[in-house]
Amino acid sequence: MLGYENIVLKYKGLWLIVGLCMVMFIIYSSLVSDPVSVDMGLEWQDKVLHTVGYFGVMGWFIQIYHQQKARYVLAAVFITMGISLEFLQDLGGVRYFEVSDMLANTLGVLLAWSLVMTPFPKLLAWFEEKLLAN
């Protein structure tokens, strides 16, 4: 796996906090009755935002966890989270679930996963080395 398994992040705790904030934002945005609206002028912008959100969170965590087993777990957790949040929306009575949102969430996770064999997982390590060097 391109030797990424041995990367040690100096600021791993900080990166985990940032990632958990991303997860909390997705959960909040999914369950609040009046989510933040972004108008990009696209017909399918809701699906684009779902895909980008889950791509972002999965992409963030594949930079922190480089072991294949951990990445499988992360993918399963985020796909399950995306499906579960859609059902929880329906229970609230204000919003409703959409299968297409579940698919967009899953697509975002899988798109991020597709970057595993590229230099992408080394971005945080590069950032620490080049920009946060003491």
User: Does residue 35 form part of some domain?
Assistant: no
Give tens-digit pLDDT for 83-108: 999 999 888 777 888 999 999 999 99
Number of domains into which the chain is organized: 1
Q: Which domain holds residue 75?
A: 44-134
pLDDT 10s digit of each residue in the chain, 134 long? 455 667 889 999 999 999 999 999 999 999 887 776 777 776 778 889 999 999 999 999 999 999 999 999 999 999 999 999 999 988 877 788 899 999 999 999 999 999 988 989 999 998 888 887 65
User: Does residue 68 form part of some domain?
Assistant: yes
Q: Which of 31, 38, 54 is nearest to 104 (CA)?
A: 54
Q: Can you give the pLDDT at residue 4?
A: 62
User: Does residue 62 form part of some domain?
Assistant: yes
Query: Concatenated DSSP letters for 43-99?
Result: TTHHHHHHHHHHHHHHHHHHHH--SHHHHHHHHHHHHHHHHHHHHHHHHHSSS---H
Distances (CA, A) of 100 to 106, 115, 131: 10, 23, 39
User: Does residue 30 form part of some domain?
Assistant: no
User: Does residue 21 form part of some domain?
Assistant: no
Identify the residue whose tokens are 């990632």.
19
User: Does residue 91 form part of some domain?
Assistant: yes
pTM for this prediction: 0.88
User: Does residue 73 form part of some domain?
Assistant: yes
